[in-house]
Chains A and B, each alone.
Chain A
């Protein structure tokens, strides 16, 4: 496909941050499945302290006009930093405990306000967790 025929890139709508390469891994999977990974900005924080994590997330939110953050663990540093940021941004939303089904739902809700889309995605992600077998 030529560059002219390519669909326009999706504008970023949310940040995905967490331990290790959590963000990059999930965004890579979303891109592979849907081609819509551009809606998500992966952030890694290996070498950063709490204040630097908060600054990084705040800067990326401001640069891209983002109001949604997905993180991995309730106890994670990215979650803690996000909660500090959201203290002064009541119109923004943090979803801790993100998973792939959740992000897939989010990127397909691109006609919806990102905060509403993220709330819906959180429910879908929670419902998508199942366990099979193990009865022996």
Chain B
């Protein structure tokens, strides 16, 4: 199989990822790419406790994730690659081919402006998303599998329907 989903979600592993996407897609593993979490045993244990026993979690730095991507893509199980911010996903996409990125959740924070119900962006983050798209990545926003994917331009315009 392959990596089915490249998702940006500042909550990282949580209900929507594990249950909302994980169950219908029959996900067998998650690649959590975060340079900070990758060096914290405590954080890794915290996230491991949030997934069912049949779901494996790999904790990678960006560098490690790029190196291991061929292995993940040839894994017979279905997987999700997850980052907590746009910059991390952009760094991956600069070093490896990524077809599509799902903006799954970037929540309220000082400096961010709400675009759709579950996506808030700073001007810098908007530019990073545009840079991803300019590099050939199809960028859409979608919180759960049953929702309609929102194209980047609609997302940036705040059009959810």
Contact = CB atoms under 8 A, between A and B. Distances in A.
Interface string A42-61: 00001111111000000000
B49 interface: yes
A45 B49 CA distance: 21
Contacts, number: 52
B108 A74 contact: no
A81 to B, nearest CB: 9
B49 A77 contact: no
B10 A50 contact: yes
Contacts of B114: 47
B46 interface: yes
A49 B109 contact: yes
A79 interface: yes
Interface residues of A, number: 19
Given A47-B107, A75-B18, 16 more contacts: A47-B108, A47-B118, A47-B120, A48-B107, A49-B10, A49-B11, A49-B109, A52-B109, A74-B50, A75-B50, A76-B50, A80-B46, A83-B46, A83-B49, A84-B46, A87-B42
Interface of B: 10-15, 17-19, 42, 46-47, 49-51, 106-109, 114, 117-118, 120
25 contacts: A46-B117, A47-B107, A47-B120, A49-B11, A49-B109, A50-B12, A51-B109, A52-B107, A73-B19, A74-B50, A75-B14, A75-B17, A75-B18, A75-B19, A75-B50, A76-B14, A76-B15, A77-B11, A77-B15, A80-B11, A80-B13, A80-B46, A83-B46, A84-B46, A87-B42
